[in-house]
Homo-oligomer: A and B are copies of this chain.
Amino acid sequence: MTKYKLIYFNIRVLGEPIRYILHYMGKEFEDYRMPREDWVELKEKVPFGKLPLLEIDGEVFHQSTAILRYLAIEAGLSGNNASENFQIDMIVAAFGDFVSEVSRFFKMENPTDKESLRLSIIKNTVPFYMTRLEKVLKNNGGYFANRKLSWAELYIVGYCTSLPALIGIDLTEKYPFFKQLTDRVHSLPGIKDWVKRRPNTPM
C-alpha cells in the first residue's frame, strides 16, 4: 500500500486541499503538523524552501497545485481529456495569483504595511477575483470547469476556509455560488467526515 505523509503546519491554508483530496480518495495518510520552531532549521533542506510537502513512499514532492494535479488523476478529479484539463488549469492558475497576494500579506512584517495590504485585498483583490469566479460558477452548473467536480473545487474551497482568520473575510457570506460550492464540497464522501472531525485550528 502506498504510504503518504503530508508535511505542513498546524493550519489549513495550502495543506487543506491536499488533506481533502486524500480523504476523498479514502487514503490513510500521516498528517504531520510541524511546530513553527522546527521550520527555521528545515526550511533550508526543503526543495524550494516551502511547505506543504507530500511524501509518497518516502519520495518528497512539493508545490500544492502540482501535488493536487497528480493525485487528481487517481482520484478521478482530472479532466477527461486535454481540453478539460486546460479549463481546470486556467482557473487554478488564475486563483493562484490571488493566493500569491494573500501569501505576501501573510509574510509581511511591518504592521502598518500589513494592515494596509489587508484592506486593499479585501477592497480590491477579493471582489476582483470573486466576481469573476462567481460568474464562472454560475455559467458552469456550479463548478469551475467542465460543469463537473474536479480538483479545482477542492483546491479553492479548501484554501478559502482559512480566509476568515487570514485576512478577516468569509467568502461564503458574500458570494452565493461560492457558498453553494463550499457546502457541496463539504458534503463529499470522505471530506464530509473530515470537516467534522478535523483539528479546530483558527486558520
Residues on A facing B (Cβ under 8 Å): 47-50, 61-63, 65-66, 69-70, 73, 82-83, 85-86, 89-90, 92-94, 96-97, 100, 104, 128-129, 132
B93, A47: Cβ atoms closer than 8 Å: no
The 8 closest A-B pairs by CB, nearest first: A66-B89, A63-B93, A48-B94, A70-B86, A100-B100, A66-B90, A63-B90, A66-B93
A93, B65: Cβ atoms closer than 8 Å: yes
Contacts of A69 in B (CB 8 A): 85-86, 89
Contacts of A70 in B (CB 8 A): 82-83, 85-86, 89
- Interface residues of A: mostly helix, strand, loop or mixed? helix
Nearest-neighbor residue (CB-CB) of A74 within chain B: B82
B104, A86: Cβ atoms closer than 8 Å: no
CA distance A49 to B135 in the complex (A): 14
Q: Assuming the A-B contacts A85-B70, A97-B48, A128-B49, are A90 and B104 also in contact, with contact meaning beta carbons closer than 8 angstroms in the complex?
A: no
Nearest-neighbor residue (CB-CB) of A136 within chain B: B47
B94, A47: Cβ atoms closer than 8 Å: yes
Other than the known A66-B89, A69-B89, what 18 A-B pairs have Cβ atoms closer than 8 Å? A47-B94, A47-B132, A48-B97, A49-B128, A50-B97, A62-B90, A62-B94, A63-B89, A63-B90, A63-B94, A65-B89, A65-B93, A66-B90, A66-B92, A69-B85, A73-B82, A97-B100, A104-B104
Q: Assuming the A-B contacts A61-B86, A65-B89, A66-B89, are A96 and B94 also in contact, with contact meaning beta carbons closer than 8 angstroms in the complex?
A: no
Q: A128 to nearest B CB, angstroms?
A: 7
CA distance A93 to B99 in the complex (A): 13
Q: A55 to nearest B CB, angstroms?
A: 13
A90, B61: Cβ atoms closer than 8 Å: yes
A86, B100: Cβ atoms closer than 8 Å: no
